[in-house]
Amino acid sequence: MMSEIKPLILIIEDDPQTRRLLKTNLCNRGWRVIEAENGKLGLSLVKSDSPDLVILDLGLPDIDGLTVTKRLRQLSDLPVLVLSARSQEQNKIMALDAGADDYLTKPFSIGEMHARLQALLRRVIRTASSMEIFQTGELKVELARRKVFIADNEVHITPIEYRLLLILIRHAGLVVTHRELLKEVWGVEHINDQHYLRIYMGQLRHKLETNPARPRYLLTEVGVGYRLIDEEN
Ligand code: CA
């Protein structure tokens, strides 16, 4: 499986410079790369080459990235990392809600890119196996027993806080949008009730963070959602 063979990454991006930068770095890492300069070719490569992961630029010349994301999701569950420009904030959120797994805002650092890709590939491995314990820094969660520990001290958390934490754990290292969290925990009728999240994330931080105002684990992505930091990354 993926950890043994080199992952195949599909880059869908019209800008040759960004493509070259990504390709060089991914190849240096030993990963295999195929490229498409537009959405149409990208989608056909997904079908013909079955890549392990897609890096998708939101600003493409033919089909816009949001539409590509939706079509990709109809085809498969493979991880999708979107690249967005600062001017595409709203598109980025829509792409995440349409099923993209995470994003990088241009210009991005290579370190950031590797962290995102690593988290994405690990999500795939994690979904394939059943994880029993999640650990990052001093936070440990025993999933089978639904128990949460900080530095080996058990922390009591409510069922709603646990559900919220569990979704973030399933996406460890990756952003989860407000909409997605609200939908998963409270249901579709509450996808706009962002104050629920502020309240419950606040409570979780008070229980799990040494300094809730400067969280180490539960990060806010302004205007987008939350990200549980995976320090094993
Ligand atoms: Ca572009």
Say if residue 212's pLDDT is above 50: yes
pLDDT reported for residue 6:
87
Shared-domain flag, residues 164 and 215 = yes
d(CA 73, CA 230): 25
Specify whether 85 is located in the same domain as 142. no
The pLDDT of residue 89 is 84
Residue 37 shares a structural domain with residue 100: yes
Radius of gyration of the chain (CA): 18
- Asked if residue 4 has pLDDT above 80, the reply is no
Examine the domain organization and report whether 80 and 95 are in the same domain.
Answer: yes
Domain co-membership, 166 together with 101: no
pLDDT for residue 2 is more than 50 = no
Same-domain status, 26 and 41: yes
CA of 227 relative to ligand 1 center, distance in Å: 26
Mean pLDDT for all residues in the chain: 92
Distance 113 CA to ligand 1 centre (A): 17
Between the CA of 100 and the centroid of ligand 1 the distance, in Å, is 17
Mean pLDDT of 77-90: 90
Q: Is the pLDDT of residue 230 over 60?
A: yes
Q: Kindly state whether residue 1 falls inside one of the protein's structural domains.
A: no
Q: What does the pLDDT read at residue 1? A: 43
15 and 123 both lie in a single domain:
yes
State pLDDT tens for residues 27-64.
998 999 999 999 999 999 999 999 999 999 999 999 98
Which distant-in-sequence residues (6+ apart) come within 8 Å of 7 by Cβ? 31, 32, 52, 53, 121
Side chain identity at residue 185, one-letter code: V
Residue-number span of the structural domain to which 28 is assigned: 8-128
pLDDT reading at 233 higher than 60: no
Say if CB 98 and CB 80 are below 8 A apart: no
> Residue 3 domain-assigned?
no
Answer yes or no: is 15 within a domain.
yes
pTM of the model: 0.85
Q: Rounded to the nearest whole angstrom, what is the distance from the C-alpha of residue 231 to the centroid of ligand 1?
A: 31
Q: Say which CATH number the domain at 160 has.
A: 1.10.10.10
Find the farthest-apart pair of alpha carbons in the chain and give their distance in angstroms, rounded: 54
Q: How many A from CA of 155 to the centre of ligand 1?
A: 46
Is residue 218 domain-shared with residue 161, that is, in the same domain?
A: yes
List own/partner pairs for 157-160 with CB under 8 A and 24 or more apart.
157/204, 157/207, 158/203, 160/185, 160/200
Which residue is associated with the tokens 């009728």? 189
CA of 85 to the centre of ligand 1 (A): 8
CA of 128 to the centre of ligand 1 (A): 33
Please indicate whether residue 126 or residue 107 has the higher confidence score (pLDDT): 107
Kindly give the distance from the C-alpha atom of residue 42 to the centroid of ligand 1, in angstroms, as a whole number.
13
Query: Is position 2 within any domain?
Result: no
Rounded Cα gap, residues 78 and 232, in angstroms? 22
Query: With 80 as the cut, is the pLDDT of residue 124 above it?
Result: no
Cα 61 to ligand 1 centroid, rounded to whole Å: 7
pLDDT digits (tens, 9 = 90+) for 142-197: 998 999 999 999 999 999 999 999 999 999 999 999 999 999 999 999 999 999 99
Report d(CA 40, CA 16) in Å as an integer: 17
Compute the distance from residue 37 Cα to the ligand 1 centre, in Å.
Answer: 9
- Å from CA of 38 to ligand 1 middle: 9
Q: Is 209 a residue whose pLDDT tops 90?
A: yes
123 CA from centroid of ligand 1 (Å):
27
Confidence (pLDDT) at 125: 73
Separation between Cα atoms, residue 232 and residue 220, nearest integer Å = 19
Residues 48 and 107 reside in one and the same domain: yes
Rounded distance from Cα 18 to ligand 1 centre (Å): 9
Are 216 and 210 within 8 A, CB to CB? yes
Q: Tell me, yes or no, whether 233 lies in a domain.
A: no
pLDDT exceeds 80 at position 5? no
Contact in structure between 218 and 226 (CB atoms under 8 Å): yes
Q: Is 101 exposed, middle or buried (0-12, 13-18, 19+ CB in 10 A)?
A: buried
Measure 13 CA to ligand 1 centroid, in angstroms: 6
> 132 alpha carbon to ligand 1 midpoint, in Å?
41
Using CA atoms, how far residue 50 sits from 33, 170, 184, 217, in Å, is 12, 23, 29, 34
